[in-house]
Chain A
Amino acid sequence: MRKSFPAEDLARDGRFRRARMEDRFKDPRIERIASGNGRRGGKLTPDRPDAAHAARQMMHGIFVGEIQALEGAGRTVWDFDDTEAPFALKLDMARQCWDEARHTEISVKLGEHMGTEIGEFAETTFLYEASCNPDPVLRLTGVNRALEGLAIDVFNTMREFGEASGDPVLTFCEDWMLADEVTHVKMGSDWLRRLTEHDPERRQRALEFQRVVDKLFSFRGFRGEADENPVQLARTFRRMAGFNEAEIDEIAQASKETAS
């Protein structure tokens, strides 16, 4: 069985359609908004006129993200031998696969609850692409600290949206998944520390990779702490996941810089 599986070969049925990240980045409408010449979507609250549509779209993004997180963690179990990645790390990734598979099923049910069809919105594979790094430490840092960190922010945003709109199903499900994401981030932080204990240069490379991924996911103000950011940075849950205050401040700052 081959190793390091490219994103183009991920298995999807006819309901799914893929969008390229570069097309999203180059969308002139997004450029215009970023330059301050257009309305921004804003924080996801029930007060938004398009609240239902925006919530459905974000939930579908979570759904495809869960599939890719499952695929990414699964690849990490397979792609490295025990000299490259300890067996205990792969055991953690196998456990994460179990979580992501369950999240995928929960997300499908939540999509039904919100009236969304599988594949209704386009899928980008950037999340999976971040999990294709050939160095297991960089892969783990990019996925478990940057992407699963984003998942904490997204799940908390959706959980708060569920609470504000009086939706007990959404609130309950997001709260459960959020708890798992905190564990996934903590796994990434723990393994980063252990695997780079005697290799500060590798740790630095991994943290730099994480910064790049974090910046991309804060693209054009998608995430931040202002009312105009659809996804809100979840400081409390990030602290629980092992991020220190300086790291959280750095993500907040990067979000501001990438907003324009």
Chain B
Amino acid sequence: MNVTVDPPAFTVVDYDPGRIAAVAAEVAALAGLPDDVRIEVVVDEENPFGKTSTVVAGRSVTIAVEGGAFEDPQRLRQFSEATARLVLGRLLFRAADRLDPAFGDPPPDQELTPSQHTAWDAYAVGRYSRRGGVDGGEGRRRYAFRIRHGFSDAADRAFDRLWSASDLTWADIQAISAVT
């Protein structure tokens, strides 16, 4: 898989572009992205926050992250592979969904509502944690989901369905979210 990282060298944070590319390639394979897909990871190392965005155009996936998204929460400006894997898992499983014609045709990321984002995130991270055999941070994902969908039994049931599902379409995600 063709993965590039921008910038090619970091000066503000202690990150290794080669390591980020390797992690992205491993996670992309786990997400089932075809080998001909080109992935570019753009890191804004001067930003300590963790905002992320993904653009899928043809067979190209561009992931833009603020530097804090890959940062170790216990060590300032240090790379956390576990954190990066979770972030990339969430984004690349969503990218794989977009490349799957059977998934449907969700709007571009910037047009999604916060509720739609958190619902799709729950579905993506749930799959990544099972396929990767890692702790996906279910508690924190549930909390993020509750902020957008409500602190209610109905919202918790919707989250459980999204977290444990494997073959949903965009229409399914919207339908599950609609009951909260």
Contact = CB atoms under 8 A, between A and B. Distances in A.
B67 A29 contact: yes
B76 A115 contact: no
Contact of B48 (A27, A47, A116): A27
A52 B143 contact: yes
A32 interface: yes
A3 interface: no
A39 to B, nearest CB: 7
B26 to A, nearest CB: 24
B161 interface: no
Given A39-B49, A50-B49, A56-B143, A28 B73 contact: no
Contacts of A74: none
Contacts of A106: none
B2 interface: no
Nearest to B149: A166
B18 interface: no
A201 interface: no
A38 B12 CA distance: 14
B46 interface: yes
B142 interface: yes
Interface stretch (A4-12, A117-125, A126-134): A117-125
B32 interface: no
B77 A115 contact: no
Contacts of B47: 29, 38-39
B171 to A, nearest CB: 24
Contacts of A49: 51, 114, 117
A208 B77 CA distance: 34
A95 interface: no
Interface stretch (B34-42, B88-96, B98-106, B133-141): B133-141
A23 interface: yes
B49 A51 contact: no
B49 A167 contact: no
Interface in B120-163: 137-144, 146-148, 150-151
A30 B48 contact: yes
What class of interface size applies to chain A in its complex with B? 35 or more
Contacts of B141: 115
A233 to B, nearest CB: 23
B70 to A, nearest CB: 13
A237 B11 CA distance: 44
A194 interface: no
Most buried by B among A46, A53, A120: A53
B143 to A, nearest CB: 5
A116 B140 contact: yes
A183 interface: no
A118 B67 CA distance: 23
A217 to B, nearest CB: 18
Given A57-B73, A115-B140, 19 more contacts: A17-B75, A23-B76, A27-B77, A28-B12, A29-B46, A29-B47, A29-B67, A39-B47, A46-B147, A46-B148, A50-B51, A51-B147, A52-B140, A52-B147, A56-B143, A115-B143, A121-B73, A166-B151, A167-B147
Interface of A: 17, 19, 23-24, 27-30, 32-33, 38-39, 41, 46-47, 49-53, 55-57, 112-116, 119-122, 165-169
The 9 closest A-B pairs by CB, nearest first: A115-B139, A115-B140, A52-B144, A17-B74, A29-B48, A115-B143, A165-B147, A114-B143, A121-B73
30 contacts: A19-B76, A23-B76, A27-B76, A27-B77, A29-B46, A38-B46, A39-B47, A47-B114, A49-B51, A49-B114, A49-B117, A50-B50, A52-B143, A52-B144, A53-B140, A53-B144, A57-B73, A114-B139, A114-B143, A115-B137, A115-B139, A116-B140, A119-B74, A120-B74, A121-B74, A122-B73, A122-B75, A166-B151, A167-B146, A167-B147
